[in-house]
Structure 1
Amino acid sequence: MQIDLHCHTTASDGALTPAEMVMRAGVMQIDVLAITDHDSISGFQAAKIAREEQKLKRLELIPGVEFSTTWEGFEIHILAWQFSLEHPALVRLLAEQRERRHLRSEAIHAKLIKQGIAAEKLPAARPESSAKNQDGNQDGNVVTRLHYAQALFEHGYCNSVQDAFEKYLGKGQCAYEKPQWCSMSEAVAVINAAGGVASIAHPLAYDLSNKWLRRLIAEFKDSGGRAMEVVSGQQSPEQRRWLTELAVEYELLASVGSDFHYPGRYRELGRNLKMPDELTPVWHDWPEMQGL
């Protein structure tokens, strides 16, 4: 089976709409897909509708989200799947995270204008579409640093998206705004209360020493976390082996995900996501996976 449990749409900082993501999943022959937008679940229902319209009966869609959290001064991303979309605690946390994103976006917007960037060249700090999604729920699109970086590049204020981060948006730069996310333990508690399973996303992306990575994993597990993302498409064999060893040592379930944001040469939906045989997949007991 082709399984990808980590991707992003225009509901957060991805380039494809949920319908386009479903279409690409069909082209890439994905069997199981989880859309995991940052602090948003608004893309899931749209993806389900698109799957029916495109008659992609072989594609199984899993509800997912990627929470931005804080732990010991680090920003740690927590993936979640199989939760109740309407659980009150989950709905409340998503609303709180969305408001934190809006406030951060407004602060970045103001700082960029102060640096001489023309306001009309920037995305709206709080898009009107964020008020309500198509189901009437308060969980629409948000503006991220990537949106600002793309705008700065497109309008000639910097030489590339990466240059925008290095010049304006990265930590310590003139338009950087420190995020105020929920704690990791709070996110895990809400995910569990909503019947879901929590996983550390891309564990090697946080610039942690091995000692601190082990501490993160231990505290995540103590808080009720059950999985970690062991397999991604851009890993070296050594990185995959190291994460496999950690998952086995800490008795965590394993997930796979491309962290796909847009079509490109180096990070493609479903590519290079084979699970090592010694691991227990996070989906081992999911009803949707039985018989596939």
Structure 2
Amino acid sequence: MTAALNADLHCHSVVSDGTLTPEQLAVRAAANGVQLWALTDHDEVGGQARAQAAAQAQGMRYLTGCEISVTFAGKTVHIVGLGFDAEDPAIRQGLVDTRGGRGERAREMSAQLAAAGIPDAYEGALRYVGNPELISRTHFARFLVETGVCRDTGEVFRRFLTEGKPGFVPHRWASLRNAVQWITGAGGQAVIAHPARYGFTPNEEWALFSEFKAHGGTAVEVVTGSHTAAEAARYADTAREFGLAASRGSDFHSPDESHMDLGRLPPLPEDLTPVWTLLADRIR
């Protein structure tokens, strides 16, 4: 399997903060020519059996996946796990613990929004939640668009849900070490997701990649829905510098919200090692 393979190894379903079911995602991915797929819901593996069955029904190969929320240098970083045993007790318990703070955080967000003149945001956000344990800023954003407070979800985040704005409540997630070790301990490969999004200084980013590799992380998303061509080239260089494999994923959430559709990404650079070549024995 070469770098030219149409692999999409990052997307989300209603099990976390997407709007389509695992089955609908599989149909969409296959229609767009995806050959190797992974569903990577946030901090949750509850959709894995459905996604694998749906992938096989559509003639696609499949890797288990998850996107784990991590706190690093005071910011939330996402680590994608691929090809792990979704029944592994350590990763399952780790994800339960990581999800645990979301409900309390959501109620605090709602209280802040109420103080800013937007009542009942918690109840409104719940209407968009497939899994109440995974209520997130995205669900609040959809409610604020529906009620006409903002034109689109991007405006919601700019006005209400980023640091320093009413409605932003930080949450302490898993440690980088724990997330990587849950994934590798369950037989998978750990990937730094969409690194251009974090806004780290050069020193902070160097520390992230260095610690990630020291803990056993092996790959970075080079081509992803939120990366520009220049950012993809930059993180291709980072992969070379740190000796990391490269991953590719749209980060698709919804037909109406996502920057990039499933399977529509450019290929990885030919000289990089695709992460799926490290997972040949885990592909189903």
Give the structure-1-normalised TM-score. 0.87
What's the counterpart of residue 48 of structure 2? 44
1:126–1:98: structure 2 CA closer, same or farther, 3 Å change rule? farther
1:44–1:75: structure 2 CA closer, same or farther, 3 Å change rule? same
1:27–1:71: structure 2 CA closer, same or farther, 3 Å change rule? same
Name the CA distance, whole Å, in 1 between partners of 2:116 and 2:90: 39
Kept in 1: contact 2:249–2:265 (CA 8 A) = no
SS at match of 2:47: helix
Per the TM alignment, residue 233 of structure 1 is displaced from its structure 2 partner at its CA by 4.1
Name the CA distance, whole Å, in 2 between partners of 1:153 and 1:239: 30
What's the counterpart of residue 102 of structure 1? 103
Query: Does 1:26 find its partner at 2:19?
Result: no
Kept in 2: contact 1:10–1:141 (CA 8 A) = no
What's the counterpart of residue 93 of structure 1? 94
Name the CA distance, whole Å, in 2 between partners of 1:28 and 1:99: 35
Name the CA distance, whole Å, in 2 between partners of 1:28 and 1:241: 24
SS at match of 2:140: helix
SS at match of 2:230: helix
What's the counterpart of residue 136 of structure 1? none
Deviations 1:152-182, CA, capped at 9 Å, x for gaps:
1111223332222223222111211111101
1:211 is matched with which residue: 200, 203, 209?
203
- Equivalence map 1:193-212=2 (5 Å): 193-212=185-204
Kept in 2: contact 1:11–1:141 (CA 8 A) = no
Q: Which piece of structure 1 moves more, 105-114 or 255-264?
A: 105-114
1:288–1:260: structure 2 CA closer, same or farther, 3 Å change rule? farther
Name the CA distance, whole Å, in 1 between partners of 2:41 and 2:146: 24
Name the CA distance, whole Å, in 2 between partners of 1:162 and 1:238: 22
- Equivalence map 1:112-127=2 (5 Å): 112-119=113-120, 122-124=124-126
Please, what is the CA RMSD of the aligned residues?
A: 2.4
Q: Which piece of structure 1 moves more, 176-185 or 210-219?
A: 210-219
Name the CA distance, whole Å, in 1 between partners of 2:189 and 2:23: 25
Query: Does 1:224 find its partner at 2:216?
Result: yes
SS at match of 1:45: helix
1:10–1:114: structure 2 CA closer, same or farther, 3 Å change rule? same
1:143 is matched with which residue: 122, 131, 135?
135
1:234–1:113: structure 2 CA closer, same or farther, 3 Å change rule? closer
Name the CA distance, whole Å, in 2 between partners of 1:210 and 1:124: 38
Structure 2: stretches of 5+ with no match in the other structure: none
1:108–1:236: structure 2 CA closer, same or farther, 3 Å change rule? closer
Name the CA distance, whole Å, in 1 between partners of 2:268 and 2:141: 34
Query: Does 1:277 find its partner at 2:281?
Result: no
Name the CA distance, whole Å, in 2 between partners of 1:83 and 1:17: 21
What's the counterpart of residue 137 of structure 1? none
Kept in 2: contact 1:37–1:66 (CA 8 A) = yes
Kept in 2: contact 1:4–1:273 (CA 8 A) = no
Tell me which of the two structures has the higher relative contact order, counting C-alpha pairs closer than 8 angstroms and 6 or more residues apart: 2
Kept in 1: contact 2:219–2:275 (CA 8 A) = yes
1:126–1:146: structure 2 CA closer, same or farther, 3 Å change rule? closer
Kept in 1: contact 2:141–2:157 (CA 8 A) = yes
Kept in 1: contact 2:55–2:61 (CA 8 A) = no
Identity, % of aligned pairs? 34
Q: Which piece of structure 1 moves more, 4-13 or 234-243?
A: 234-243
Name the CA distance, whole Å, in 2 between partners of 1:289 and 1:59: 14
Name the CA distance, whole Å, in 1 between partners of 2:235 and 2:117: 44
Name the CA distance, whole Å, in 1 between partners of 2:105 and 2:96: 14
Kept in 2: contact 1:257–1:273 (CA 8 A) = no
What's the counterpart of residue 78 of structure 2? 77
Deviations 1:57-84, CA, capped at 9 Å, x for gaps:
x211211000110112121110001111
- Amino acid across the alignment from 1:212: E
- Amino acid across the alignment from 1:257: G
What's the counterpart of residue 9 of structure 1? 13
Kept in 2: contact 1:60–1:288 (CA 8 A) = no
Per the TM alignment, residue 258 of structure 1 is displaced from its structure 2 partner at its CA by 0.9
